[in-house]
Structure 1
Amino acid sequence: MEFEKHNESKKKIANFHVKLTQLLDAGLTKRGMSVRVKLKRDLAKKLGREYINSLEISSTGTIVCDGQEFDKPSPLTGKINGSSCNGWEYIEIKKDGCWVRLEELRAIWRTTKN
């Protein structure tokens, strides 16, 4: 019975919607970290580049783009790409000199919540 409760709890965490501010609270991101958003193929070809750079983590853990604050990644990637896409896959944070996809940081966050 205890094992079933533990598995049920793990499933809830795996499906739990994580906010960007939770990554900051956990120390996985920090204010001022560089952020880049991958462009969809057609838009990247049109603009002649693969990423939108020059974004960063705010003091509250969100990402600000064109004056709008985003606590969830998918609305940000949708705004930049002009159509919906999985922000956890399209956004990268520069951490310790390397670009890391948000989905990797989210996975780390989830393992700390088990």
Structure 2
Amino acid sequence: MDAAIDLKQMQQSAENASQFLRSLANRDRLMLLCHLTRGEACVSELEEQSGIHQPSLSQQLGVLRREGLIEPRKQGKRVYYSIASDNVRAMLVQLYSMFCSQETVTEDD
């Protein structure tokens, strides 16, 4: 009986991980998340920093918000976004070390 419970828990964990990875599996969303690792930013700052323009920017922010990867904070007319959890930040640090650090081997090497 314990094996069945563990299997169900494992299946649910795998589903959660799969959904999390699907949320990350978009170039624009990854760019936005990378910019947010530096700290909170409003939409206009993210547009300037990332080069992603409306309406795509709003669409991708909406996906990240719905998936719980970022959280909004409204101040006056502006909405500021930040990374929602340490788990998201940890994954981004890992991705950075794998793909963006100076030690990353390029295809030309």
Q: Give the shorter-chain TM-score range.
A: under 0.3
Higher strand share: 1
Report the TM-score, using the length of structure 1 for normalisation. 0.26
Report the TM-score, using the length of structure 2 for normalisation. 0.27
Higher helix share: 2
